[in-house]
Amino acid sequence: MLEIIKDTVSYIKTHIQAEPEIGIVLGTGLGGLVNEIDIQTSLSYEKIPNFPVSTVEGHSGKLIFGKLANKNVVAMQGRFHFYEGYEMSQVIFPIRVMKYLGIKTLFLSNASGGVNPDFEIGDLMIITDHICLVPNPLIGKNEAQLGTRFPDMSEAYDKNLISKAEQIAQNLGIKVKKGVYTATTGPTFETPSEYKYFRIIGSDTVGMSTAPEVIAARHMGLPCFAMSIITDLGVPGKIIEVTHEEVQRVATNTETKMTKIFKKLIEEI
């Protein structure tokens, strides 16, 4: 695996001007952040050696390099999911590549379904912890050069970054929630009983990504910050039929607030 990562990194380095400091993973309907990036290089996934190709509508499939808030960044415009049929090693492969490209911090975003009864559609939630109900991406042979066999996950999401983001949101007049994100395999949206179960076990919101990426990042010692946009509700009395198109629409309408927080937080790192 390490040789494959290095092979991909070598190819990418021949196409970029500067080593990125910040890695960003953009979720469903959240690709608008790239409009804030002073883009220097854009690489289609299909042209990058060993890279999977995103098959989900709303995930355009590009690795974007440039400057954001005066920092060199690399942004995944489209991520990979277990439900697409990929191995978990493929799902987290870009995170490992970004680490070897030089990033020091990882930012992630997603669209998710709120199960906390205090949440409303369009809310922003800073992720403080997660429950991972997909196969752990570290199962299998451990590469010691990537990280320890048994990585600690007591602080999966960086408390300092969370605190800074809260202050930034307050200064910008943007209301944010905090909570626990639960990752499931998908691709089905949840049943009412599943929503109930997720709330019982401690979830505030549920989605189909992010947690495996964070596990891979923490395995390699990368601090992580993540936000969810609540695009639908799994709360009794508020559950309605959900479509991927509706999730995209809500995410797109709300992402400008998340973009402001991300941009300012990256500036202050």
Task: Report the alpha-carbon distance of residue 232 to residue 120 in Å, rounded.
Answer: 8
Is the model's pLDDT at 30 over the cut of 90? no
- 64 or 252, which is more confident? 64
- The residues pairing with 72 across neighbouring beta strands, listed in sequence order, are 67
Give the whole-angstrom CA distance, residue 114 versus residue 176: 13
Q: Kindly report, residue by residue over 197-227, the tens digit of the pLDDT.
A: 999 999 999 999 999 999 999 999 999 999 9
Q: Are 126 and 227 in contact (CB under 8 A)?
A: yes
Cα–Cα distance for residue pair 44/71, rounded to 1 Å: 22
Spell out the residues 6+ positions from residue 34 whose beta carbon is closer than 8 angstroms to its own.
26, 64, 75, 77
* Residue 56, pLDDT score: 59
Neighbouring residues of 218: CB distance < 8 A, sequence distance ≥ 6: 151, 152, 153, 156, 224
**Bridge partner list, 253:** none
Q: Enter the tokens of residue 197.
A: 């179960």
Is it true that domain 2-268 has CATH number 3.40.50.1580?
Answer: yes
Please report which confidence band the pLDDT of residue 245 belongs to, taking 50, 70 and 90 as the band edges: confident
User: What is the average pLDDT across 41-62?
Assistant: 81
Helix (H) or strand (E) holding 72: strand 71-77
Report the distance separating Cα 250 and Cα 135, nearest Å. Answer: 29
pLDDT at 248: 74
Kindly list the domain boundaries of the chain, sorted by start residue.
Answer: 2-268
Fill in the DSSP letter of residue 78: S
CA–CA dist 224, 227 (Å, integer):
10
Collapsing DSSP to helix, strand or coil, 5 comes out as: helix
pTM score:
0.94
